[in-house]
Amino acid sequence: MKLYSYFRSSAAFRVRIALNLKSIGYETVPVHLVKDGGHNRRPEYHAVNPQMRVPALVTPNGDVLIQSLAIIEYLDETHPDPPLLPKDPIARAHCRALANIVACDIHPLNNTSPLRYLKRQMNQEQTAIDAWYHHWVIEGLAAYEALAQGGTYSCGPQVTVADLFLVPQVANARRLKVPLDKFPKIAAIDAACLKLPAFDRARPENQPDAE
């Protein structure tokens, strides 16, 4: 498989974890989201993914998949061991809800594109942009902290899709100095996950395009 990725992209980070957990070999194709206005906006990448975002995964059959949750569910369906969702329908819904707190509520407001828009089109100062970022991360993680089951991971004793979304978000929050002291459950889950080789190998600093 071929993964179009950017080392700091939390969405690509999620997919890297899934690939590692399932022991699926893949080739990384770096797409820098910052240099020269973003290499993701170049015509050659637009031809791969018209949304011009990462990740994009090229399957062995040549199909191109986009959006991290869709990619992860494809990987879970085609490589079911280890499973990333519980068998029980209620537990599955709970895990998906936690993942969606990150994917739908936190990440869209703090992605590269909206932050650039705030700076360039809305003429906001960096201090205001940082305050925006911190606000939405803290609000989302407060809900996650309340809803996570605890135990070792977000949904109990096994790694699930929720953990794949949480760990990259926590990494981004730390990098941008969001205070996380009010989230002890999240801190414990993050620490447990990062002890696993699949998570550790997926970290931004361990990628071939890391700067």
51-69 pLDDT, tens digit each: 999 999 999 999 999 999 9
pLDDT number for residue 187: 96
Domain boundary, last residue among 82, 110, 136: 82
Cα 107 from Cα 12, distance rounded (Å): 12
73 and 35 assigned to the same domain = yes
In the predicted structure, residue 117 carries a pLDDT above the cut 90: no
Matching residue, tokens 């929720």: 162
Q: Report the Cα–Cα distance between both ends of the chain, in Å, rounded.
A: 24
Tell me the pLDDT band of 168, cut-offs 50, 70 and 90.
Answer: very high
Quick check: is 12 in a domain? yes
70 and 144 assigned to the same domain = no
pLDDT number for residue 119: 87
99 and 180 assigned to the same domain = yes
pLDDT number for residue 110: 86
60 and 105 assigned to the same domain = no
Quick check: is 15 in a domain? yes
- Global pTM exceeds 0.85: yes
139 and 97 assigned to the same domain = yes
67 and 127 assigned to the same domain = no
> Which structure tokens are listed for 31?
């797409």
In the predicted structure, residue 150 carries a pLDDT above the cut 80: no
Quick check: is 149 in a domain? yes
Query: Are 142 and 101 in contact, with CB atoms under 8 Å apart?
Result: no
66 and 168 assigned to the same domain = no
pLDDT number for residue 166: 98
Quick check: is 135 in a domain? yes
104 and 75 assigned to the same domain = no
pLDDT number for residue 182: 96
Report the percent of the chain where pLDDT is more than 70: 100
In the predicted structure, residue 181 carries a pLDDT above the cut 80: yes
Q: Which domain holds residue 54?
A: 2-82
Domain boundary, last residue among 40, 55, 82: 82
Q: How many CB atoms lie within 10 A of CB 115?
A: 17
DSSP SS3 for 1: coil
Q: Convert 140-156 to b/e letters by CB count within 10 Å (16 or more is b).
A: bbeebbeebbeebbbbb
Matching residue, tokens 């990740």: 55
Task: Look up the CATH number of the domain holding residue 99.
Answer: 1.20.1050.10
> Which structure tokens are listed for 152?
């070792």
131 and 188 assigned to the same domain = yes
Number of domains, the chain:
2
In the predicted structure, residue 203 carries a pLDDT above the cut 80: yes
Quick check: is 205 in a domain? no
Quick check: is 45 in a domain? yes
Q: How many CB atoms lie within 10 A of CB 2?
A: 16
Cα 31 from Cα 34, distance rounded (Å): 9
113 and 176 assigned to the same domain = yes
